[in-house]
Structure 1
């Protein structure tokens, strides 16, 4: 009887050890739920110059947004009226909406600045030839009618924060950044627009002292302060227009 009890005790110990060594099945973890409000964007590398057109589109530049801004910036109203009157004296009915002409930089909020700013009066004349060029591009059909201006004058602090060039023509109120809201990046429509701008730059750019900057992001820079062209990192060799032959080789 004693031997029988020892046998049962041995079997019980073995069973207990076996149970302890057997892993308990676990329920597979569910895949993490994606937050639809979170947008994942590709990190920018140091050799990419975004010209600020990689940021999400906001209401800045719309008339309703501009009017709401004026309601909280009463001291700017008189300056806006004076600036608009000056431009009309030079350009007649071809003055773009002030809601676009006073836009500063797409990253204004991140930089702690205003979305709109009237440039200093001594710089008002610098924008006139650039707006004349802009009007010519639209009248010739190079730019579609729904083209919009989204960045003009930038004060030095904002320009630096926004990643602008040290000698940016935005600092002198001589440049405008434009875009076509309907044109997607890498779309055929944007490609055709860039080609039209390149051809215009070749045919008429020197007469306008046309500075043309085209970027893979879809950003377009126009100024009339030097006949030149460029792309990423303000480099001539990186210009999207580089595939177009010079005039003397056409």
Structure 2
């Protein structure tokens, strides 16, 4: 009489299956928790690369960079211009040209250039904001490679961190009225202000500079328009 062989589907095989099932359940639980936590974060892909959130990510990447920015904020406070515009906007270079030229949006200017922006900020504090309201910085310092790619002037005031490209925080649909008020503000400030005003307005061209961008520096009393020449200034 033949003795029956042991049943291979007995307790040992069932135990292995149970252990493997428990392991997969544990792995699945860990992955599910990680997935849930990711849902609570703002995905990198949907953060505006020129936004404050993007700036904070950039500044958090390097402790020395964060310390340098805190020192820059200290210089602004010492000169009474810390609250003119959000300081983080002064580290933003021209978004349009940064994209077109494949350059970083965020750059903190060299330390030796930091004091150069103070006179322009004083003009914004004393003249621009009282007449026009709150403004946002679109561009301030321009790196040499960005200036070359953007075909900027060889002696652009942006290269020395002396100029600001601005727009109103509250957009204006009436661009003609906007630039009329900018020109009136410039005239009232007068030659003693040494204000340079870039007023980029083309009458009748509604698609040109719809955001109402304009330039301010303290390098001399003058104005210019879309051709970057005085003859194209709407203030003439």
Question: Normalising by the residue count of structure 2, what TM-score does the alignment of the two structures yield?
Answer: 0.70
For 1:241 and 1:100, how far apart are their aligned partners in 2?
A: 28
Change (3 A) 1:203 1:139: same
Q: Which residue of 1 aligns with 2:112?
A: 122
- Where do 5+ consecutive residues of structure 2 fail to align? 1-46, 202-208
Alignment match, 2:98: 108
| Rg larger for | 1
Instruction: Indicate how the Cα distance of structure 1 residues 172 and 93 shifts in structure 2: closer, same or farther if over 3 A, else same.
Output: closer
SS for the counterpart of 1:129 is helix
- Number of residues paired by the alignment? 180
Residue by residue over 1:150-187, the C-alpha shift from the partner in whole angstroms, topping out at 9 and shown as x without a partner, is: 10001111111123222110001110000125435xx3
Question: What is the CA distance between 1:61 and its match in structure 2?
Answer: 4.5
The residue that corresponds to 1:154 in the other structure is 142
Name the CA distance, whole Å, in 2 between partners of 1:88 and 1:182. 26
1:178-211 CA-partner distances (Å, limit 9, x unpaired): 0125435xx32x3222112111211213122000
In the TM superposition, 1:144-223 aligns within 5 A as: 144-145=133-134, 147-180=135-168, 182-183=170-171, 187-188=173-174, 190-216=175-201, 217=209, 218-223=212-217
Distance across 2 between alignment mates of 1:98 and 1:171: 18
Change (3 A) 1:93 1:156: closer
Q: Decide whether aligned partners of structure 1 residues 159 and 92 sit closer, same or farther in structure 2, where only a CA change above 3 A counts.
A: closer
- CA, structure 1 residues 149+126, in 2 after alignment: closer, same or farther (shift >3 Å)? same
Matched with 1:137 is 127
Measured on the aligned residues, the alpha-carbon RMSD in Å equals 2.0
2:218 maps to 224
Distance change >3 Å, CA 159–CA 205, structure 1 → 2? farther
1:45-71: per-residue Cα shift (whole Å, max 9, x none)?
xxxxxxxxxxxxx93553212101222
Higher relative contact order structure (alpha carbons within 8 Å, sequence separation ≥ 6): 1
* 1:65 matched residue in structure 2: 54
Tell me how far apart the structure 2 counterparts of residues 68 and 202 of structure 1 sit (CA, whole Å): 41
Q: In 1, are the aligned partners of 2:194 and 2:220 still within 8 Å (CA)? A: yes
Q: Is the 8 A contact 2:81 2:121 kept in 1?
A: no
Closer/same/farther in 2, CA of residues 193 and 137 from structure 1, 3 Å limit: farther
8 Å contact 2:73–2:82 — kept in the other structure? no
